[in-house]
Structure 1
Amino acid sequence: MPEGHIMLAPLFPARRTASPHRHIVRKGLLPTTLIALALTLMLTVMHLRAISAEALDVARIQAVRIGSVVAPGLGDERLRDLIGRALARSAPTDRVILHRDDLPDLVVDSGRRPPSSPWLSVRLNTPMGEMETFSDASTLHERRFAAWLMTGLLATGIIFAFAFGARTIEREAAAPLAQLRERLDLALHPRDPRTGATATDDTVSLEALLAELAGLRERQDAAMTEALRLRLHEIARHTRFLEQMGDHFRQPLQALSLFVAGMQPGDDLRQRAVQGQMQHNLARLGELLDGLLDMARFDAGAVEPEPVELLAADLFVRARAAIAPDAARLGVDVRWRGGALPLRGDPTLLGELLHRLLTSAVACAPQGRVLVAMRRRGADIRLEVRDNGIGIEPAQQERLFEAFTRLPGHPGFGLGLAVARRIADTLGGAIGVRSRPGRGTLYWVHLPGVAMGNARPARATLREPLQRR
């Protein structure tokens, strides 16, 4: 740590991280509880206003009914009698005071109101002056008390639910956190696990374990980087060894081939047969060496694809030239589809893959037909090589792409399809086969993400060879 940081560290201590359950309570449960309490209080206030307005409306209606009996010219006794009868029908209005301008106030009491009972007063004008009515408000106060009591009970329930939820969250969050801390502690310190941590410092302990885990991850990354460097060095060394081994083997084979080719057997038919057999075996030995070296290079990871933009016709032209002698010798008609398809890939590896599949198909379909098709599947390419030959037994299909698995009637060593599978793996694709005995064989290769744009016509230099057959 820099010196400035060391000096400032005591002045600014690290802030203690709150527990996860406290974060949940503070940011989730507490705001919800406060909102519920606020809504409860608001509903209570609205209910109180509603019952007060209702009681006042009833008192006003009764006052209007009582005031309707007051008419000019009535004597005190007659007016008192009419108001008394109206009071008898207008509970809970219990008392009326008629304030007359030139005469004393007229007071009429129903006798129902207790002396200490609260009342609700209403004033209105009549033909004989202002009239004031007093209604019993005990029912209104009881309803208000009941409303506040229900509000208190509801608020108590909300607070109890908050406390219970906070306790449950603490228990549900702290227990898994403690278990996670113990598992990390046991994983990082299997021989000396730390003990004594409580629920209050589980977060701090977990942060320390995570920091230690991050350091362990950095060390593992460094170790993997070093292992990768050593692996690349080993691949490079192995590649050089393969190249040197190939050179050392090819030089004697080439010398022996030249020696056999230069022999002059004369007219001796036996010597001519021996010389032909030697040349044939030398050619097969060269093919075996090339196949083994190719497999070794792919297995060692020494082959890296170098993708470029090309047309499928570019691959078809080279494959046609390579397979033409064998196709003519076996009488196989090879047809091509999808040459105008643009793609991006390694032309060398794709050409080698197509050549090995095409060689296998031609060898298994003498006097037959072979169709080579390049098809687009969205951003992917599917290469298909189909023949109408003798087909392959299901038991052989399971190990067809293994080394030294020879097809019936095939003169090779069983390395072509094994190398084809390694090429497909190197290109990031998949390879497979579908075949029925006597019905032919379909080899397919799926290459993801190599299709480009839309198909366009092939160049004239590539189209002309494809139209000759």
Structure 2
Amino acid sequence: MNASPYSPARPAPLHRQLILRGLLPMTVVALALTGSLGVLHMRSLSAEARTVARIQAIRLGASMEAATGDDAVRYALTRALSRSAPTESLRLRRDDAPDLVIESGRQVPAGRALHVRLNTPLGELETVSDATSLHERRATAGVMTLLLCCGVLAVFLFTRRALERDVIEPIEGMRDRIDAFLHPRQANPIPRGGGELAAIDALLDELVDLRRRHDTAMADALRQRLQDIARHTRFIEQIGDHFRQPLQALALFVAGMQPGEDLRQRAVLGQMRTNLTRLNELLDGLLAMARFDAGAVEPRAVGLIAADLFVRERAAIDEDASRLGVDVHWRGGRLPLHGDPALLGELLHRLVSNAVVSTPHGRVLVAARRRGNAVRLEVRDNGMGLEPSQQERVFEEFTRLPGHAGYGIALAVARRIVDTLGGTIGVRSRPGRGTLFWVQLEGAAVGPPLRATSLLSRHPAH
């Protein structure tokens, strides 16, 4: 597929875009708010100190209102000044008399004086207060503001790292994986114009287009497959008709032959009949395998019980079992199940026929059991058994087993039937100890599992 064109200009990386457009503005706003709060707090401290100093100046001015004469005024101011700890000195400027200066004796550090002027009836009163506490409180507020700013920066750095780890890196990894999937031959993909998020959108659009084309291709392939199945089915039917008609005519011709008393002619006629039977069986097996391989067999599941299969198969196998002296037992006929009766009957026939041929003058046990929501069919015999090498290829085409006169088609067809039904088939055997063929059909059981099912499976089918 052709990749969409890339922009020649390389945009800013995704983490830079997110930081510049999202995280950094919030950090700047937080720093501005922190600085503003710090400045407002220091201004409120200065205003508070000035208010306290002005209140003290008002009290000092009020203390000299009742005094008359310089000595009384000086005494009143000195006494009031001694009770005003932050105020270190005062000066009373009078128009008709010299200025009156009173000091408490405490020294104000350089640069830490707070001056307040107040008009009184005796003149302008100027107080000098010690602002050391104000400077200390403002310094503390500045340090706290600086710490808050450092905390905001620390949160910014931590959030940036968490954003890169939890958001940016997964997004970039997803983009790289999608890009590598869509453009496997491009070693160093260049981000598309508009940033990496736009690149991801473009890649997703390509995936949607790829999925749409894939669905279209799958629909075309399915339609072609259905046409092939129909063509193969017609071909198989035509081949079967072309081969079966000569074989039927030859069988009728052989059946009408009268060998008389000649033993050699009778032997030749018997071989011809046997070979015709085997040719019919071979043709049926080949056509069955061809139908299954072409997908022309569609299972149709219905409700039934195991006895429906057992009764039909017992009638088909009785003649061969009697001729070979094989005792066949059937168990679990009352087990209800859900499946295709035609396919299950053909499967059971091929397995039981194989067991009967393998066990002359022996015993064969056919059983149906329930395992959870699955049904297990078992065909067990006490015949000669199979070697491990034979067990590995027993379900392959044209694998002839010891003692079998056939072409090795029956078990290959049985495996195809099981695959069509969606089950599994297997074999367990020991040389000289018999063989067990089992088939597991998942979801074929009917109703909830009951303990009575195992009890009913012990009774033979009727």
Please give the range of the TM-score, normalised by the shorter of the 2 chains: 0.5 to 0.7
* Matched residue SS, 1:433: strand
Does structure 1 retain, via aligned residues, the 8 Å contact 2:13–2:195?
A: no
- The answer as to whether partners of 1:332 and 1:369 remain within 8 angstroms in 2 is yes
Name the residue aligned to 1:403: 397
Whether the 8 Å contact between 1:181 and 1:205 is mirrored in structure 2 is no
**Which ranges of structure 1 fall in alignment gaps of 5 or more residues?**
1-17, 49-83, 85-92, 96-108, 119-134
Aligned 1:12-161 pairs, distance under 5 A: 21=14, 30=23, 144-161=141-158
Residue 344 (str. 1) matches residue 338 (str. 2): yes
Q: Residue 304 of structure 2 is aligned with which of 310, 319, 322?
A: 310
Using a 3 Å threshold, how does the CA distance of structure 1 residues 183 and 466 change in structure 2: closer, same or farther?
Answer: closer
SS for the counterpart of 2:195 is: helix
Does residue 1:239 correspond to 2:236, yes or no? no
Letter in 2 for 1:211: D
Contact 1:235–1:301 (CA under 8 A) maintained in structure 2: yes
2:260 is paired with a residue of what secondary structure?
coil
Alpha-carbon distance in 1 for matches of 2:382, 2:275: 30
* Matched residue, 2:175: 177
Partner of 1:88: none
Equivalence for 1:358: 352
CA-to-aligned-CA distance 1:427-447 (integer Å, 9 cap, x gap): 111111111111111111111
Q: Tell me the distance in 2 between the aligned counterparts of 1:466 and 1:183.
A: 60
Residue in structure 2 matching 1:293, options 263, 287, 291: 287
RMSD: 4.9
Task: Give 1:203 deviation, angstroms.
Answer: 3.4
1:393 to 387, 392, 415: 387
Match in the other structure for 2:421: 427
| Equivalent residue letter for 1:430 | T
Cα distance per residue 1:78-129 (max 9 Å; x no partner): xxxxxx9xxxxxxxx999xxxxxxxxxxxxx9979979989xxxxxxxxxxx
Give the 3 Å change call, closer, same or farther, for CA 386–349 of structure 1 in structure 2. same
TM (normalized to structure 2)? 0.67
Q: Distance in 2 between matches of 1:196 and 1:285?
A: 68
The change in CA–CA distance for 1:223 and 1:455 in structure 2 (over 3 A counts) is closer
Q: Which amino acid aligns with 2:150?
A: L
Equivalent-residue separation in structure 1 for 2:18 and 2:189 (angstroms): 28
Instruction: Name the SS for the 2:361 alignment partner.
Output: coil
Kindly state the Cα deviation for residue 174 of structure 1 after the two structures are TM-superposed. Answer: 4.7
CA distance in 1, matches of 2:324, 2:190: 83
CA gap of 1:200–1:418, structure 2 versus 1, over 3 A, is same
Residue 272 (str. 1) matches residue 266 (str. 2): yes
Alignment check: 8 A CA contact 1:295 1:419 kept: yes
Structure 1 distance, partners of 2:262, 2:424, is 53
Change over 3 Å in CA distance of 1:331–1:141 after alignment to 2: same
Pick one of 376, 388, 400 that aligns with 1:382: 376
From the superposition, tell whether residues 366 and 117 of structure 1 become closer, same or farther in structure 2 (CA, over 3 Å): farther
Distance change (3 Å), C-alpha of 1:94 and 1:179: same
The one of 237, 249, 258 equivalent to 2:243 is 249
2:300 partner SS: coil
Give the aligned length.
382
For residue 340 of structure 1, give the secondary structure of its aligned residue in structure 2: coil
Amino acid paired to 1:354: L
Q: What does residue 219 of structure 1 align with?
A: 213
3-state secondary structure, aligned to 1:382? strand
Structure 2: how far apart are the matches of 1:332 and 1:110?
Answer: 134
Aligned to 1:332: 326
Relative contact order (C-alpha < 8 Å, sep 6+): which is higher? Answer: 2
Show CA shifts across 1:22-56 (max 9, x none). 79959xx959x88xx79x98xx99xx9xxxxxxxx
- Report the CA distance between 1:394 and its aligned residue: 0.6
| CA deviation after TM superposition for structure 1 residue 153, in Å | 2.1
Q: Is the 8 A contact 1:94 1:112 kept in 2?
A: no
* Other-structure match for 1:447: 441
Letter in 2 for 1:351: G
Q: Flag the 1:440–1:148 CA change in 2: closer, same or farther, 3 A.
A: same
**One-letter amino acid matched to 2:250:** L
Q: 1:368–1:170: structure 2 CA closer, same or farther, 3 Å change rule?
A: closer
Distance 2:360 2:209 in 1: 65
Paired with 1:112 and 1:366, the residues of 2 have a C-alpha distance of 130
Which residue of 182, 189, 201 maps to 2:195?
Answer: 201
CA 1:200–1:435: 2 relative to 1, 3 Å: same
CA distance in 2, matches of 1:254, 1:396: 35
Match of 1:438 in 2: 432
Alignment check: 8 A CA contact 2:372 2:449 kept = no
| Matched position secondary structure for 1:371 | strand
Quick one: distance in 2 between partners of 1:185 and 1:395? 48
1:392 aligned partner, one-letter code: L
- Distance change (3 Å), C-alpha of 1:304 and 1:182: closer
Runs of 5+ consecutive residues of structure 2 not aligned to the other structure: 1-10, 42-81, 88-103, 114-131
Describe the SS at the equivalent of 2:379: strand
Query: Closer, same or farther in 2 for the Cα pair 1:362/1:204, shift >3 Å?
Result: same
Q: Residues 275 and 455 of structure 1: is their aligned pair in 2 closer, same or farther, counting only changes over 3 Å?
A: farther
% identical equivalent positions: 53
Q: Check the 8 A contact 2:15/2:164 in 1, yes or no.
A: no
